[in-house]
Structure formats: structure tokens, C-alpha cells
């Protein structure tokens, strides 16, 4: 089955700096890569996703890049703000929610 590894497990950045979280996956059949954000005590929520026919996708201050050859994808957050502090999960799927495999999560802390 699919195996998704996520690094780092914790990340602290100064407000205004950029943050990068990386994930690798094992199953070449995976073609859908979402990122979920979970604030303390709250539900995970989808913040951005990318499909394997696209190399990069941006949404305001967040972007995701995908390298299919190397089987890795990354989340980039620019101009970080305190409200970006949360746990971020990457996931991979061959195309449906029922086959999503999650990474172990990254605790991002944005220091004021």
C-alpha cells in the first residue's frame, strides 16, 4: 500500500518568514495530493490540493509543488502569520477519498 512520509515533525519560523513542509510517497499510482490544516482542538480542513498533471499550484500565500519523478511534494507558506500556526497534514491518493493515506503531520509555530 501507499506510504507517506512527512518532514519536519515540528517547525518554528518568525512571523513574515517562509515555511516549507515536505512529503514523499511510495505508490506511483497516486495522483492526488491534498494538504489539510488542523488548528488546535479543531477539525482538519483542506487548504490546497494538487493533481499529478500539474507541477505547481498557488492560492494567495500558500503553494504546493509536485515532483512526480522523485515522488515528493511540498507545501510552501510565504509571509507567515500567527494564524498559520497549526498542524499540517499531507496526503496522497490514487484518486479518491477512500484511498487517502495521510502523513504524520507537521506542527508549525509562527513566532511573533
Partner 1 sequence: DAGVIQSPRHEVTEMGQEVTLRCKPISGHDYLFWYRQTMMRGLELLIYFNNNVPIDDSGMPEDRFSAKMPNASFSTLKIQPSEPRDSAVYFCASSPQGNSNEKLFFGSGTQLSVL
103 binds partner 1 (CB under 8 A): yes
* Distance separating alpha carbons of residues 90 and 33, to the nearest angstrom: 7
Q: Which is nearer to partner 1, 28 or 104 (CB)?
A: 104
Q: CB-based burial of residue 23 (10 Å sphere; 0-12 exposed, 13-18 middle, 19+ buried)?
A: buried
Binding-site member from 20, 49, 52, 78 for partner 1 (CB under 8 A): 49
By C-alpha distance, which of 23, 4, 20 is closest to 12? 20
Helices (H) and strands (E) in the chain, counts: 0, 11
Binding-site member from 24, 93, 106, 110 for partner 1 (CB under 8 A): 93
Copy the grid coordinates of residue 35. 494538504
Question: Cβ of residue 103: shortest distance to partner 1, in angstroms?
Answer: 8
Binding-site member from 26, 28, 104, 111 for partner 1 (CB under 8 A): 104
40 binds partner 1 (CB under 8 A): no
Binding-site member from 11, 13, 27, 32 for partner 1 (CB under 8 A): 32
Amino acid at each position: 500500500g501507499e506510504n507517506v512520509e512527512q518532514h519536519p515533525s515540528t517547525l518554528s519560523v518568525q512571523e513574515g518568514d517562509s515555511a516549507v513542509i515536505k512529503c514523499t510517497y511510495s505508490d506511483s499510482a497516486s495522483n492526488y495530493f491534498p494538504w489539510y490544516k488542523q488548528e488546535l482542538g479543531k477539525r482538519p480542513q483542506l487548504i490546497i490540493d494538487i493533481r499529478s498533471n500539474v507541477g505547481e499550484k498557488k492560492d494567495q500565500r500558500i503553494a504546493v509543488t509536485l515532483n512526480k519523478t522523485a515522488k515528493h511534494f511540498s507545501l510552501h507558506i510565504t509571509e507567515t502569520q500567527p494564524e498559520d500556526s497549526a498542524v499540517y497534514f499531507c496526503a496522497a491518493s490514487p484518486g479518491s477519498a477512500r484511498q487517502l493515506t495521510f502523513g504524520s503531520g507537521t506542527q508549525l509555530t509562527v513566532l511573533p
